[in-house]
Structure 1
Amino acid sequence: MMFLKLAWLNIWRNRRRTLITVASVFFAVLLAITFRSVTDGVYENMIHNVVSYSSGYLQIHKKGYWDEQSIDNSFEADEQLSKKLLNNPKITYLMPRLETFALSSFADKTKGVMVLGIDPVSEKEVNRLNEKIIEGQYFESNNVDHILIGSGLAEQLNTKVNDTLVLIGQGYHASSAAGKFKIDGILKLGSPELNSNVIYMPLQASQYLYGAENRLTSLSIMLGKTSDLESSKRAVENTIDIEAYEVMTWKQMMPEMDQFIEADSAGHYIIIGILYFIISFGLFGTLLMMTFERNREFGILIAIGMKKRLLAYVVLLESIMISLMGCLMGVLAGILIVHLFTENPVQFSGSLREVYEDYGFEPIIYFSGHIRIFITQTLIILVLAILLALYPGFKILRLKPVDAINS
C-alpha cells in the first residue's frame, strides 16, 4: 500500500510529464477502438445486407433440400415451431419464403427468373424492401396477383409498372404452374445478379401458383448483428426435429463470402499491426523522456540508500497507473464516439455514393459497438504500455548513482 501511495504522489509531482504520457495512451486506445469499430461495423453491415435478402443468418429447411433445391423438398409451415423459435431472445425475425424458378414472358420476350414468395410485412421491416422501389409502389399481403421485379429484369423484358407478366413453371409434385401478374413496382437491389433475375410476390400467391398451399422451402432466421452464430445454431437445433429439418448458417450456405471476409480481414490485421507499432513508438518516446528527465532523481535516491529493485518497482507502478488512466479515458471517449456514429452512420453522397451503389454496397459507413472491441483494444494497449514500462526499471537496475547525479 505504501508503494502505491508513493507511486501516486510521484506521478503528480510533474503534472505536465504525466499528462503527456496519459495523452499518448489515451489517443492510442481511442485510435485503436475507432479503427476496429469501423472495420467490424462495415463487415457486420455487409453480412446483414446480404443475408437479409437471401439466406438469413440461419436457415431452416427440409433435410436434403440444400443438395436438391426443389419445391418438392418444401415443408409445411408450423405456427408452433415459429412461436418456439421467437421465444429465443437472440432471434429478431423469422422470414418464411417459398423460392423456386419460372419462365417469365412479356410480349415477345421471355427469361428464366427466380420467384420469391415472401411475407411483405417481415421483408419490409428487416431489409426495407419498400425503400428499394424506384417506380410504382410496394405490394400488400392481400395482393394475390401482384408482383415486384428487379430493374435489370424490367429492362431485359422491356416492362414497366402496371404491365402484366406471364409466369410459367412446374409446381409442387410436378403440377403445372401458370398465371398472369400485374407489376406493382420495380426495385433496384444492391446485387446486380439478383436485380436481373428476381421476382417478389406475396407468399400466399406463390403457394397458390405452385400448388404448395401452406408450404415453405425455407424459414430464414434473423439475429442481432453481434450474435454468436454457432451458439444460436445449437439453440435452434435444440428447438426443432433435426431428423426432419436441417439448420445451416450463412457461412455454410455462402462460403465464398466468408472466405472473402477472411482474406480482407488479413489486410486489416496488417494495418492495425502497423498502428500498434506506431503507438508503441509513441509510448516508448514518452517513457524515454520521463526516464532521462528523472535520471538525477533516481541517482540521488539510490545514493541515500533506496534499493534499486524497489525503485524500479515504484517506477513500474507509476507507469501502470498512468497507462490505466489513459486507457480508462480512451475507452470512455471511444464509447461516446462509437455511440455517436452508431446512431448517426456516415453517409456518402455524390459520385462516391454512386460508386458504392454500382458495386452493390450500401453507401453508409457503420460503426460496431460490440463490447469485445473495447475490451480487446484496451487490453492490447495496456499490455504494450506495461511491457514498455519495463524499460525504466531495467535502466534503474543498471544505473550508476555517481554518473546519474552528475548528469
Structure 2
Amino acid sequence: MTTPTSAPVPSTSPTDLLFNAEKLDQAINSAALNFVDRLGRARHTWSGLEAQVDLEATAQRSQIQSAANLVLGQAGYAPPVLYAAGLPMTTQTQTVDYSGNTYAPKPSALPFTTGSTFDPTKFRLIQGISGGDLAEVGAAALIGTASGMSAQGTFDLLLANGGTRNKIINGNFAVSQSAQTGTITLGPNQYGPHDMWRAGAGGCVYTFFSNGIDTVVTIESGTLVQVIEPLLIQGANYCISWAGSSRLQTGGGTSAASPYLPAYTAPGASGIGVEFGPGSLTLVQFEPGPAPTPFERRLYPIELALCQRYACQGGDTPNAFVLIAQANTTTQAFGHIAFPQPMRTPPTFTAAAGAFRLGGEVVGALVPVSITRFGVLVSFAPMGSFTPGDAVLITQSVNPNGPIWNAKAGL
C-alpha cells in the first residue's frame, strides 16, 4: 500500500493520487465495512453502506411491526406468527404472517389446522393492503363485502343496475298515497293503500303499524303481491330477503323463509311476481347477487316518485288545487292535469263525480278527453254557465270523500 503525504487538501502529489486510487478500489470492491482515508479518518466502504441501509431497514420494519402488533392487540388480535403447516386455528383473534401480509382465520372456518399450502378461503386479510395495491387494476377484489362478493363485483352490480340495487319498490311499506287506516280487506288482485302492493288471486286481509321509519304489515289471510316490471330485471341470479314471519310463496303450494335464491328465469311481458303469505312482513328486497345485503333505504321523495310511475292521485285534501282550465263555451271548459311523474303506460284515469269548488260554485265531473303517460286533458261543465275565454280555477270540495282523481298504470 502506498504511503501518502500529509499535504493539505487538495494535494497535487502523484503519491497521494496513487494512494487515493488504491483507496477508491478498496471502497468499491472490498468486503470490509470500513477503510481509512489519506487523513486518517474512518470511512464506510460500499459494503459498509449496504450493511448500514439493511440495518436501518430492519430497524424500521421492526418498528412498523411493533406498531402493527400494537394496533392488532388493541383490536383484540394476537401478534402474528409465521405461517407454517400444523398451526391449530381455534379462535378468530389468532393471526398469521404470510407473504408479508397479516391474516386472521374466518369465524366460519374455525376450528382447523393449517396445511402445507396457505388456504385463502379460510383466512381474511386484516393488514397488508397499501394504497399502491388498491391502485392496481382489479385490486378491489382485495376487499370483501358482507355478501362474500368482492368490492369490484359490488361496484359492477351497482353500475349495471343504475345504482338501484333493490328491485322492490316500497319494500318497507312507507309510501301510502291513499292514507287509509284500520284493517285492509282487498278483493282478488286489488291494489291496496300501500303503493305497489296488491292482493293475490285469493284476495288479502291485513293490518299494519308504523315504527316511525318503516311500516310492518301483518297478513291475516290471503297473500300480498308485488310485480316487478320486466325492464328492471337484468340477466343475473337474484336473492329475495325480508323481515318478518311471512313466507314467500314459491309455487306449487310450497313456501320459503328469508332469504331465498330463486332459479333465474327471464321475465315475461308481465314481469316477475313476489308473493307473501300470512305473517308479519317488511323490508322486502329483491336484488342481484348470491346473498342478502342490508335493506336499501332510498330517500322518501325518491321512493314516492318510483311509486308514482305506477299510481298517483290529486285533490286529496279540502281546498287542494286541482287544475286551471279555460272556458271555451258557456257550458264547457278544458284543462290539463300533469302527472307528478311520467307513468309506466297511459293510465286508467278516474275522477269523482261533481262537488268541485269554484269560488263557491259547484261544477260537474272531470271527463277525460285525452290521456298520455304525462297527463290528461279533461273537460267539465258548470252547474250554471261559464263566460267563454275565462280562466277557471278548480279546487277540492270542502268535504272531500277521497281524492278528486286517480291515475293507475300498475302491473
TM class by smaller structure = under 0.3
Normalising by the residue count of structure 1, what TM-score does the alignment of the two structures yield? Answer: 0.19
Q: Quick check: which one's helix share is greater?
A: 1
Quick one: higher RCO (CA 8 Å, sep 6+), 1 or 2? 1
Which one has a bigger Cα radius of gyration? 2
